Amino acid sequence: MTEFTVTLTQEKAADYWGENNRLTFDKAGATIHLAETRDPLRVIQQAARKLDSLNIPAATLGGDWTKEQQWAFAMSFTRARNPAAINWADTEDKADLERDYAAMLFTRQLVNDTPEDLSPENLARRAGNWIKELGGDHVSIEMTVGEDLQKAGWIGIYNVGRGSVRPPVMLEVDYNPSGSDSAPVDAVLVGKGITFDSGGYSIKSSEGMLDMKCDMGGAATVTGALGLAIMKGTNKRIKLILCCAENLISGHAYKLGDVLTYKNGVTVEVVNTDAEGRLVLADGLMRATETGAPLIIDAATLTGAAVVAMGSDYHAVFSMDEDARNKMLASAAAEGERFWPLPLEQWHKDRCPSAFADTANSRPQKGGGGGGASNAAGFLARFVNPDGTGWVHLDLAAAYHGNGSAEMPVGASAAGVKSIARMVMDH
């Protein structure tokens, strides 16, 4: 079969292609026209979406492409179902692009999988097995499952997941290239792994529930980031903690009005069972803090408030550590990914008050009320060191697209994988 080649040009398309047309075709394939544009990457993305809609089995990037241009094409050209192959341009960035793309494909495929196939245990196994394939003997894996979570004191994951017949899991992966048990942990990545979110007794609407297979997007993103860091040859000891559960309704499900007592003594009144992500992340953050790592990054599709603020274009960044926040933003800028800071202060810890516990897990109003994303971050701040030093919280508003756009396909984006990998490698 003849290769379908996609090339770039700074020339305008001929008039007969239509005014301001950016994509033309010939016997060899297609040409993307970048003349007179202030946003060439966006033009490339839009052209890639049009090409992807043709169900081309493979695209070869011919001629002169920068690394950023090739990545913009790949992000938009790779559809959720039966994605087409990409043959990279013959440049010095080819090997790097192949590693980035492998991490992107793993992350997207995991998020796009059906909730029936991706139980909490299956999510944990697949994530752990992939890291093991990449890291070999440098990787050790521990899974705490079901009732053992309660015995170990991980009551957030346990209570959110106990309504399902498929048990909740805390996965801990240790990538330790030195091989020494005494080697310090350089960074910990914590991911929200809610494999399906019905909302529990604070049940979502049908349309609001449709895309909730993506609620483990944080777990997939940090797993993809660790895998990418390993592929890039990091020599740092990095731990991965995934907080995995299905948030379902049953006679054994947790309820509104319950009070949970965490290992660090913090008591939490459940005022919204659909604010479950922060309940499971609290366990992961406490475990991460126990390691003494100077850098902790958690990632989660946590709040609708972040989506309202950011749309589906940016991830929200929260930290009480200005240096850590700035390094996260710099890492994202270096990778060409869109991250944006939202406010987090000490007093955000008290923005979800309770008469029955130290804090509630939300505010008893739609969407958690104003400032919901910052209030959720404030809740999480109770489970790291008191000053929040070295901790970055990412609310992944751009992790999943329920509807396609002119630039992005339907489904998982894997946005953030490259930035998190860079952050843990450079910190």
Quote the tokens at residue 94.
């080819």
Contact 298, 399 (CB under 8 A): no
Cα three-residue angle 33-37-40, rounded to 5 degrees:
70
Distance CA 47, CA 403 (A): 18
Residue 1 has what pLDDT? Answer: 52
- Cβ-based neighbours of 192, under 8 Å, separated by 6 or more: 215, 216, 217, 218, 219, 243, 277, 280, 281, 298, 299, 300, 301, 302
Residue of 345, 342, 352 whose CA lies nearest to 306: 342
Query: Where does 119-218 show beta strands of DSSP type E?
Result: 139-145, 169-175, 187-197
Residue 380 has what pLDDT? Answer: 98
* Catalytic residue ranges: 204, 278
- In order of their start, the domains of the chain are 5-91 (no CATH), 105-426 (3.40.630.10)
Quote the tokens at residue 349.
């810890």
Q: What percent of the chain has a predicted confidence (pLDDT) above 70?
A: 100
Residue of 216, 106, 124 whose CA lies nearest to 169: 124
Integer angstrom CA distances of residue 253 from 216, 275, 280, 357, 379 = 19, 14, 15, 20, 22
Quote the tokens at residue 200.
């529990």
The three-state secondary structure class of 381 is helix
Helix (H) or strand (E) holding 323: helix 322-335
Quote the tokens at residue 385.
């060191």
Per-residue pLDDT of the chain (427 residues; tens, 9 = 90+): 579 999 999 999 999 999 889 999 999 999 999 999 999 999 999 999 999 999 999 999 999 999 999 999 999 999 999 999 999 999 999 999 999 999 999 999 999 999 999 999 999 999 999 999 999 999 999 999 999 999 999 999 999 999 999 999 999 999 999 999 999 999 999 999 999 999 999 999 999 999 999 999 999 999 999 999 999 999 999 999 999 999 999 999 999 999 999 999 999 999 999 999 999 999 999 999 999 999 999 999 999 999 999 999 999 999 999 999 999 999 999 999 999 999 999 999 999 999 999 999 999 887 788 899 999 999 999 999 999 999 999 999 999 999 999 999 999 999 999 999 999 999 8
pTM for the full predicted model: 0.97
Contact 364, 353 (CB under 8 A): no
